[in-house]
């Protein structure tokens, strides 16, 4: 009451305070960082190690296992996953949330510095997984006037983009990099007894700069530098090479030197045209909107400098962000207007509507200021929380204004002032209790650390800011405006007659229910069971997918497939995509060198659909899956993608099973048998295992004893063969202002068959040579594409697609159940078990954490209400309304075909804090009425009296959420589940609590005198 008295006495001070809120609130909006979702940090580190020429088995035994053993002693690690592939080891550490990742990085680095690996293995590289570093813009670059587009883009375009302060990195892919090729003559090399290493060293020796100190020249000390520079192809031809007996020849005598492009290793196309792709990542402190604005300016500048340059923005996250935030803003405006209309319909006075509505901008401004102070960005989650809070912001103001009207005893200024003070005091305890119950439910959310905590903590804080601000506004701004503007309650308001009819009907119904308490209790139990029946029909997902019109197609190529053949596969995919009427644009990439746990080489096609498309993204996905599933030489996965959920959406593989074992042989045999049986079933096609054999590899096994006898180090053989087959980089040189590599190679086809490899001779320590076949065995060997492990257990993933026999979701669920019981289960034993995929594990963990938070929130609400009523009995009674809200929540989710997910569970968390508000107001009113009325009359009149404010607060909250619940606007799918849970739950709980609370109250406080009840 002290705050209310203060503003009534000092109105100018109150107005100035609101003016300050306006200034600082607008300042917070203008300086806020705009993002699609809150920033998330996952405690993950990645160790990649290159072992040139090694098979997946060798990588697993010699590199991956030692690294796994080494990191096993580190603290805070939750899971260790690894993938051993040809030439490459990937070990991925997932830490517990709350781990100091700087310390974890340093500890891991120390372990990697001391791990015992073969000397030919490159030093392990440690990377931190940061989802916030994902590209915020993707550009397609072309310039017909350039002979070497890759080098041109790398040297001219990329540096200009990297100069932008908000840009963290620019990744280039596609195209063919230019280089200077030194093609050795095998005959001349043999004639002069030279090898590739000696040629490479000669080139390096001819191109060097070395500081030699300083010397005095006159009054100055000048630095002395010695060196030789090779700047042109012609100068490279004149590089001297020393042969036997001290004689010297020139490089041009033994090699053909020319500028050329590297052999095609990657494919990049945009809308069917060859292109270079640039992926731009933002600095942590900047938003995607900042990057987009700066990059757009730079593109304009580059185009004016290079007239033939063609740069197309393929994907720009800022467009999604601005569109999503505008959509949420429009939804918020709609919610405010709807709330104002509802208030007018009940009060019938425009001034009353404006007084209540004044709490909305005040609460929003306070929330924005607090969000800025907490470092929250403007994103879909925080903006949606303000939308969700709009209806609740006016709840306290409605209750206060309605109480002021009831306290009004005259039409003079003093009477309005007295009514404002008295009316606020009457309901102060009720609205404080309601505000606290709404706020305390978010306390457990503040302690969650996983994806749930990072994603939805800002939502909880924002709603708490809104509610606390609305409470302060209700006891200050509303009574001040009431006393100054003197609103008049219209008896003939649009809803006045309806409310009176409802009040009369309520008195009759409750009177009858109090006479049939046993029947009410039986109906309560039946309704409760029906809610759980609805729940069993709902699906589960971690995050709802958002229809952003982006489809991701991944084609895992048949092992060993030549790039020319892979290109033909990609063109078949492009033909299907380009036939889609809803297609806007698409991009193809292959061989970009991205790390993959699957191993092998995959091509990716990203399709962007029109905003006015006739089909949903998931419908397009299902359509393409059927068409692409028949393409040979690849395994195609099609799914929609969502940047809001940071996960794949609809699509993917129809069937997936993960097996694990401590023995790789057992696992491979079991997976091969299971793949064979699944492939034979009529409902399954495209069944694959990631332990399937890749293309045969030529295995050169050096005998260390024979090699030592001939004076050859085994490691020398591997390095020499690598140079013969792949060439070696000797140096770099400047060609026309562009830095290019100088590589020493043998002519194509020199060692392209097994017979030619067998004919290789190896230099020994005496200056002679020995045949490779004398010290090594050479032959073909099968090898898997990748060997995957998790927590030192080997794992294999088996995937497959369903035929047209399986059509609906129900058919799919039945087919999966049958395959699990009839096929998968019979292969499981003590040596081979089934494992969960990472997404299922994450979903279980995150949803489990939210359920715990809900239970803790319910306990906190009980404590708050028990303290308010000074009675655990009344607190428990009001909490009985919570289970009945589930009926409406589950029914709405089922009707909208929305699965239970993190947002919907968050909706339940929020719901238990709001559904009790009507009960608190009712019980508080009953307790007040019992001072002047008997218990029976109090039970009926309390509900009838508070029917209007309860209906108003409930309707404003529900109707303000309806646009979001209906999925109106872009990216509203993210919060649709939360809105549906609250709309359905509040509707059901309001109706049922008003009817059942009188019965519960009567049961908990003794018998009802039925003679005093109305007929």
Contact indicator for 484, 8 with CB cutoff of 8 Å: no
**Measured between alpha carbons, how far is residue 772 from residues 55, 120, 766 in Å?**
20, 19, 16
The residue-averaged pLDDT of 761-766 equals 80
Domain ranges of the chain: 1-31+348-489, 44-129, 493-537+839-1015, 550-577+587-694+786-835
**Measured between alpha carbons, how far is residue 384 from residues 106, 325, 459, 466, 974 in Å?**
39, 9, 8, 12, 9
Contact indicator for 76, 107 with CB cutoff of 8 Å: no
Task: Express each pLDDT in 780-813 by its tens digit.
Answer: 777 777 889 999 999 999 988 888 787 777 788 8
Secondary structure (DSSP) of 188-204: HHHHTT--HHHHHHHHH
Distance between CA atoms of residues 946 and 944, nearest Å:
6
Task: Express each pLDDT in 910-923 by its tens digit.
Answer: 888 888 878 887 88
Q: Does pLDDT of 563 surpass 50?
A: yes
Contacts of residue 336, Cβ cutoff 8 Å, sequence gap at least 6 = 357, 360, 390, 960
Contact indicator for 693, 599 with CB cutoff of 8 Å: no
Contacts of residue 142, Cβ cutoff 8 Å, sequence gap at least 6 = 149, 273, 274, 275, 276, 309, 310
**Measured between alpha carbons, how far is residue 696 from residues 304, 781, 787, 816 in Å?**
52, 5, 16, 34
Size of the chain, expressed as the number of residues it contains: 1015
| Confidence at 210, pLDDT banded by 50, 70, 90 | low
For residue 909, which of 449, 538, 446, 471 has the smallest C-alpha distance? 446
3 state SS for 90-150: EEEEEECCCCCHHHHHHHHHHHHHHCCCCCCCCCCEEEECCHHHCCCEEEEEECCCCCCHH
CATH superfamily of 550-577+587-694+786-835: Multidrug efflux transporter AcrB pore domain (3.30.70.1440)
Cα Rg for the chain, rounded, in angstroms? 36
CATH of domain 1-31+348-489: 1.20.1640.10
Contact indicator for 577, 594 with CB cutoff of 8 Å: no
| Confidence at 695, pLDDT banded by 50, 70, 90 | low
> Chain-wide mean pLDDT for the chain?
83
| Confidence at 696, pLDDT banded by 50, 70, 90 | low
pLDDT the model gives residue 788: 92
pLDDT the model gives residue 351: 86
Considering only the top CATH level, what class is 44-129? alpha beta
Q: What's the gap between Cα 869 and its chain centre?
A: 44
Helix (H, G, I), strand (E, B) or coil at 745: strand
Distance between CA atoms of residues 909 and 513, nearest Å:
31
Q: Which two tokens stand for residue 419?
A: 């009514």
**For 584-713, where are the alpha helices, taking DSSP H only?**
617-628, 664-680, 704-709
Q: Does pLDDT of 728 surpass 90?
A: no
One fold for both 1-31+348-489 and 493-537+839-1015? yes
Q: Does pLDDT of 575 surpass 90?
A: yes
Dihedral, CA of residue 980, residue 986, residue 988 and residue 991, to nearest 10: -150
CA end-to-end distance (rounded Å), the chain:
41
| Confidence at 736, pLDDT banded by 50, 70, 90 | low
**Beta-sheet strands, E only, within 509-610:** 550-557, 583-590, 602-609
CATH superfamily of 493-537+839-1015: Multidrug efflux transporter AcrB transmembrane domain (1.20.1640.10)
Task: Express each pLDDT in 414-440 by its tens digit.
Answer: 888 888 888 888 888 888 887 888 888
């Amino acid at each position: 009451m002290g705050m209310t008295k203060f503003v009534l006495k000092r109105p100018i001070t109150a107005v100035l305070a609101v003016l300050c809120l306006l200034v600082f609130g607008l300042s917070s909006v203008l300086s806020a960082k705009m993002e699609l979702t809150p920033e998330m940090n996952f405690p993950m580190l990645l160790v990649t190690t290159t072992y040139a020429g090694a098979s997946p088995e060798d990588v697993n035994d010699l590199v991956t296992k030692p690294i796994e053993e080494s990191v096993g002693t580190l603290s805070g690690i939750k899971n260790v996953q690894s993938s051993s592939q040809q030439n490459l080891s990937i070990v991925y550490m997932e830490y517990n949330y709350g781990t100091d990742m700087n310390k974890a990085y340093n500890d891991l680095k120390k372990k990697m510095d001391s791990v015992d690996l073969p000397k030919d293995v490159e030093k392990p590289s440690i990377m931190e997984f940061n989802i916030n570093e994902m590209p915020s813009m993707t550009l397609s670059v072309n310039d017909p006037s350039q002979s070497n587009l890759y080098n041109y883009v790398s040297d001219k375009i990329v540096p200009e983009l990297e100069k932008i302060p908000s840009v963290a990195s620019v990744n280039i892919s596609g195209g063919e990099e230019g280089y200077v090729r030194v093609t050795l003559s095998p005959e001349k090399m043999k004639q002069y007894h030279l090898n590739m290493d000696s040629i490479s060293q000669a080139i390096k020796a001819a191109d060097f700069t070395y500081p030699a100190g300083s010397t005095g020249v006159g009054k100055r000390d000048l630095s002395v530098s010695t060196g030789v520079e090779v700047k042109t192809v012609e100068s490279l031809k004149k590089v001297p090479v020393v042969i036997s007996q001290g004689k010297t020849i020139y490089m041009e005598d033994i090699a053909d030197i020319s500028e050329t492009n590297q052999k095609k290793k990657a494919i990049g196309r945009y809308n069917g045209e060859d292109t270079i792709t640039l992926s731009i990542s933002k600095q942590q402190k900047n938003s995607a909107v900042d990057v987009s604005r700066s990059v757009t300016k730079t593109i304009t500048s580059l185009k004016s400098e290079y007239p033939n340059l063609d740069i197309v923005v393929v994907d720009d996250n800022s467009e999604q962000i601005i569109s999503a935030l505008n959509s949420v803003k429009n939804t918020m405006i709609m919610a405010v207007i709807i709330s104002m209309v509802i208030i007018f319909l009940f009060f019938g006075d425009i001034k009353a509507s404006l007084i209540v509505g004044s709490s909305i901008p005040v609460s929003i401004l306070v929330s924005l200021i607090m969000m800025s102070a907490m470092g929250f960005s403007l994103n879909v989650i925080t903006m949606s929380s303000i939308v969700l809070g709009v209806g609740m912001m006016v709840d306290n103001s409605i209750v206060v204004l309605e109480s002021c009207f009831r306290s009004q005893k005259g039409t003079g200024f003093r009477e309005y002032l007295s009514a404002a003070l008295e009316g606020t005091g009457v309901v102060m305890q009720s609205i404080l209790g309601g505000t606290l119950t709404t706020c305390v439910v978010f306390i457990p959310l503040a302690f969650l650390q996983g994806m749930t905590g990072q994603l939805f903590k800002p939502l909880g804080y924002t709603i708490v800011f809104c509610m606390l601000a609305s409470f302060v506004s209700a006891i200050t701004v509303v009574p001040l405006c009431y006393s100054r503007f003197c609103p008049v309650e219209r008896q003939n308001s649009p809803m006045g007659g309806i409310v009176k009819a409802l009040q009369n009907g309520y008195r009759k119904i409750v009177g009858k229910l109090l006479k049939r308490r046993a029947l009410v209790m039986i109906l309560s139990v039946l309704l409760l069971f029906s809610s759980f029946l609805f729940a069993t029909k709902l699906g589960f997902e971690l995050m709802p997918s958002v229809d952003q019109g982006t489809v991701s197609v991944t084609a895992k190529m048949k092992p060993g497939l030549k790039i020319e053949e892979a290109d033909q596969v990609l063109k078949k995919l492009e033909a299907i995509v380009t036939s889609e009427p809803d297609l806007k644009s698409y991009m193809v990439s292959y061989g970009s060198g991205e790390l993959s746990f699957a191993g092998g080489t995959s091509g990716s096609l990203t399709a962007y659909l029109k905003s006015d498309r006739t089909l949903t993204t998931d419908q397009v996905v299902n359509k393409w899956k059927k068409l692409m599933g028949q393409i040979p030489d690849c395994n195609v996965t099609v799914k929609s993608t969502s940047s809001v959920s940071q996960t794949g959406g609809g699509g993917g593989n129809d069937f997936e099973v993960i097996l694990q074992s401590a023995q790789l042989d057992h696992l491979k045999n079991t997976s091969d048998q299971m793949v064979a049986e699944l492939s034979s079933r009529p409902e399954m096609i495209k069944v694959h295992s990631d332990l399937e054999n890749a293309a045969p590899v030529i295995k050169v096994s050096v005998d260390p004893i024979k090699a030592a006898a001939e004076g050859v180090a085994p490691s020398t053989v591997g390095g020499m063969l690598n140079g013969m087959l792949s060439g070696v980089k000797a140096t770099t040189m400047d060609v026309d202002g562009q830095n290019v590599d100088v590589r020493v190679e043998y002519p194509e086809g020199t060692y392209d068959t097994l017979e030619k490899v067998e004919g290789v001779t190896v230099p020994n320590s005496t200056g002679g040579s020995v045949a490779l076949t004398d010290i090594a065995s050479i032959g073909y060997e099968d090898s898997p594409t990748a060997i995957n492990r998790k927590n030192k257990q080997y794992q294999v993933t088996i995937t497959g697609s369903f035929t047209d026999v399986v059509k609906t979701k129900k058919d799919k669920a039945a087919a999966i159940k049958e395959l699990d019981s009839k096929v998968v289960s019979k292969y499981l034993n003590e040596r081979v078990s089934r494992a969960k995929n990472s997404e299922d594990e994450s979903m279980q963990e995150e949803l489990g954490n939210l359920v715990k938070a809900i239970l803790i929130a319910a306990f906190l609400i009980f404590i708050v209400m028990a303290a308010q009523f000074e009675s655990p009995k009344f607190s428990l009674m009001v909490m009985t309304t919570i289970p009945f809200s589930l009926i409406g929540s589950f029914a709405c989710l089922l009707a909208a075909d929305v699965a239970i997910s993190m947002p919907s569970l968050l909706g339940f968390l929020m719901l238990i804090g709001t559904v009790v508000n009507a009960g608190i107001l009712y019980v508080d009113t009953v307790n007040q009425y019992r001072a002047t009325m008997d218990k029976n009359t109090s039970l009926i009149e309390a509900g009838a009296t508070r029917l209007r404010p309860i209906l108003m607060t409930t309707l404003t909250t529900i109707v303000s959420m309806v646009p979001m619940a209906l999925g109106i606007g872009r990216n509203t799918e993210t919060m649709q589940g939360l809105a549906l849970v609250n709309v359905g739950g509040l509707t059901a709980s309001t109706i049922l609590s008003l009817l059942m609370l009188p019965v519960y109250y009567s049961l908990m406080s003794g018998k009802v005198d039925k003679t005093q009840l109305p007929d």
